[in-house]
Structure 1
């Protein structure tokens, strides 16, 4: 008989966007490793996007339970006079705020801790306790952000005795936009205390990169050197099945797929492309941005005279996004600058690599993402101000494409360890570990 895990995730289909992929793929592949998932999620969440096609990945045997939520995000949106979809919950870098928006942001940063999804916690604890009582639940798994989800995991472990694993897709008090929030000192202390409580009480902690493993391990204050385990993101072979990769022949496309926030605005790349255009080195260049594009990015492109060769495509379903990846001459990755940027390993980088096209990135050249690109020979990451290095790299790939010999990306063999199923097996091992008889609280 398989063991059963109760997985709590705020983001789950019909939610779209990057936040949903990790939990969704755990649910899809855990049954292969002896774990039957029961999902607990929100009924009507404040999602950045919707993608109903993702529901096809949910196994028929997986039960999904949804609860209401008192979401401060709704009140915040009404206070500033916007719709839910227009409110940015992350970085505000480069954006101008009205007085009312500043007030609302202060309220959110200081009264809704650890985040604006904390209103889901009482509902998820109430329903989670019922689900544990109704069936044989062997382990609880929470994934964040939102990190308030971990508070529900801590409460459920205390109330039921079922061991709990806390999974961190991003850091908590070290997340990329944390320093932009107008926290008071008491809010900072309370948030840090909540983070320490979660890290100390969880039977196991997982995260997505070696750098962030070390960061979180320092905060657990445990003697166990393996207190935090790396379970990377990855790619799903069902989404990017092997096949002929056909980059566009009518234009050399530099493509970004996903949200391009102001904090990720690759200004060094735009300078490099302008230089190459002015030199006449890339006459058939096309820039394609698929997904949400911040107004600051549009202004930066306009300032460099690149809007005429730029195509902006609104959010598309996941399978269409993959098709755009496979047409690219180069896939653009941008890692924003923040103190823990070396550990940023988004799910997108794995899908980029699996799409079979080379990656050009901007971010920490010595970070975990750069190491992955080197290890797989799938591309290169440059410093954010290295316009000269970027220009040389892009010119080299453009000339190969123009000669009808486009450069390939990472090989299938190099990517094999980064399949979603392989990483889910790692998570299954962690879950089995917290259920072993000799593991203390």
Structure 2
């Protein structure tokens, strides 16, 4: 929702006439979606449809219930409003099933946006071997449809350079169609949140995943005998968080780690502005993913410590910033020493303001508008 809403806002400011097609409000629950729904109001017009089988819940496969409504809705909006190009962002991916069919009804460029990998993801492999007929059916449908969708599109935007390279390798015959369009930050969301706090504060707003033990072992060694050190977590309670709580207890650092529940974005921003370091714990199984929290750190000019693999997407993203540090996820010694270095240096900035500004949504929307204009020529 963030990506669609913010691009709508800035494309409109750049002079584009944006028409948004989405589901009716009751199918977009949650405080974040309410906030972003307000941003969508910057569009020229918002078109909404229902879904089929609205009594049924398919979890992350729910996008399938929107699919039958999309083709007639897109076709009608394009013809009625003289649309010049279509930008279709979706996750999960099932609403993209309409792309080849819509292309047979309209003669405007169709840009498909992949925020995550589809059949190149580990989750796809898990579903292929799942005991669930629904999961295996999803995998078979994805395997059949993804190549057809990509070949039907006039361009495909992806959220990291690693993801672009992965798709270029898998689909060499259309490799020129793939373009990197990362997520970013809206500077207007970060005004008026200057906060000062004591101590050395490391913040992590996000999910815990597998393979975090080396980080916490390194953190425990670093934090020993440092009463001013605090790691502050924000995120919903789940089994991974409970596992990390047990781990911090075993390591004797329960007093060093503060677990908070879900918090609204404005509260997170206040905490970011009070922190010394923004922590990134990437998905161990996904070298293409860039957590969106990184762009919150960019917006706040907050030094970053990323725990990733050397060939992960976050590594190339951060290499131009002097206030960023990268540690391999399994190297406990490097994690400890890097934390010690950051503690002693206390960097005040991520650095390179010009480079940071490239990840503002306004800059990214300018790139997207240029791509849209290129496809119409």
| Residue 366 of structure 1 pairs with residue 311 of structure 2 | yes
| Residue 180 of structure 1 pairs with residue 126 of structure 2 | yes
Moved more, 137-146 or 265-274: 265-274
Cα distance between partner residues in 2 of 1:334 and 1:47: 27
Q: Determine the structure 1 residue equivalent to 2:183.
A: 233
What is the Cα-based RMSD across aligned positions, in Å? 2.6
Q: Determine the structure 1 residue equivalent to 2:301.
A: 356
Change beyond 3 A, Cα 1:412–1:246? farther
Q: Determine the structure 2 residue equivalent to 1:11.
A: none
Change beyond 3 A, Cα 1:176–1:378? farther
Correspondent of 1:211 among 148, 152, 162: 162
Structure 1 position 361, deviation (Å): 1.3
Structure 1 position 194, deviation (Å): 0.6
Correspondent of 2:279 among 313, 327, 332: 332
Cα distance between partner residues in 2 of 1:416 and 1:200: 33
| Residue 22 of structure 1 pairs with residue 3 of structure 2 | yes
| C-alpha contact 2:278 2:305 (8 A) present in aligned 1 | yes
Correspondent of 1:123 among 51, 66, 69: 69
Structure 1 position 326, deviation (Å): 1.5
Change beyond 3 A, Cα 1:29–1:187? closer
Residues 222-301 of structure 1 correspond to what in structure 2 (within 5 A)?
222=173, 225-241=175-191, 246=195, 248-249=197-198, 251-258=199-206, 260-263=207-210, 266-277=212-223, 279-280=224-225, 282-301=226-245
Cα distance between partner residues in 2 of 1:397 and 1:73: 52
Tell me which protein shows more helix as a share of its residues. 2
Q: Determine the structure 1 residue equivalent to 2:270.
A: 323
Structure 1 position 30, deviation (Å): 0.9
Q: Determine the structure 2 residue equivalent to 1:144.
A: 90
| C-alpha contact 2:114 2:157 (8 A) present in aligned 1 | yes
| C-alpha contact 1:220 1:227 (8 A) present in aligned 2 | no
Aligned length: 368
Q: Determine the structure 2 residue equivalent to 1:158.
A: 104
Structure 1 position 220, deviation (Å): 3.7
Cα distance between partner residues in 1 of 2:22 and 2:194: 36
| Residue 346 of structure 1 pairs with residue 286 of structure 2 | no
Structure 1 position 165, deviation (Å): 0.5
Structure 1 position 398, deviation (Å): 2.4
TM-score, structure 1 length as denominator?
A: 0.76
| C-alpha contact 1:254 1:332 (8 A) present in aligned 2 | yes
Cα distance between partner residues in 1 of 2:169 and 2:150: 10
Q: Determine the structure 1 residue equivalent to 2:153.
A: 202
Correspondent of 1:417 among 354, 358, 373: 358
Q: Determine the structure 2 residue equivalent to 1:3.
A: none
Q: Determine the structure 2 residue equivalent to 1:93.
A: none
| Residue 52 of structure 1 pairs with residue 34 of structure 2 | yes
Cα distance between partner residues in 2 of 1:426 and 1:22: 14
Change beyond 3 A, Cα 1:186–1:122? closer
Change beyond 3 A, Cα 1:374–1:61? closer
Deviation string, structure 1 residues 382-438 (Cα, Å, up to 9, x no partner): 11111211111212222345xxxx5422342231222111111111122112211xx
| Residue 303 of structure 1 pairs with residue 247 of structure 2 | yes
Structure 1 position 299, deviation (Å): 2.0
1:238 aligned counterpart, secondary structure: helix
2:21 aligned counterpart, secondary structure: strand
| C-alpha contact 2:194 2:270 (8 A) present in aligned 1 | no
Correspondent of 2:47 among 38, 62, 65: 65
Cα distance between partner residues in 2 of 1:176 and 1:381: 24
Cα distance between partner residues in 1 of 2:71 and 2:304: 42
Structure 1 position 323, deviation (Å): 1.6
| C-alpha contact 2:203 2:279 (8 A) present in aligned 1 | yes
Correspondent of 2:331 among 372, 379, 386: 386
Change beyond 3 A, Cα 1:194–1:72? farther
Correspondent of 2:320 among 375, 385, 404: 375
Correspondent of 1:396 among 341, 344, 348: 341
Moved more, 282-291 or 197-206: 282-291
Structure 1 position 48, deviation (Å): 6.7
Deviation string, structure 1 residues 307-339 (Cα, Å, up to 9, x no partner): 33333333222222222212112111111122x
Deviation string, structure 1 residues 214-245 (Cα, Å, up to 9, x no partner): 2222344436x52211112112111234x896
Cα distance between partner residues in 2 of 1:261 and 1:270: 11
| C-alpha contact 2:186 2:362 (8 A) present in aligned 1 | yes
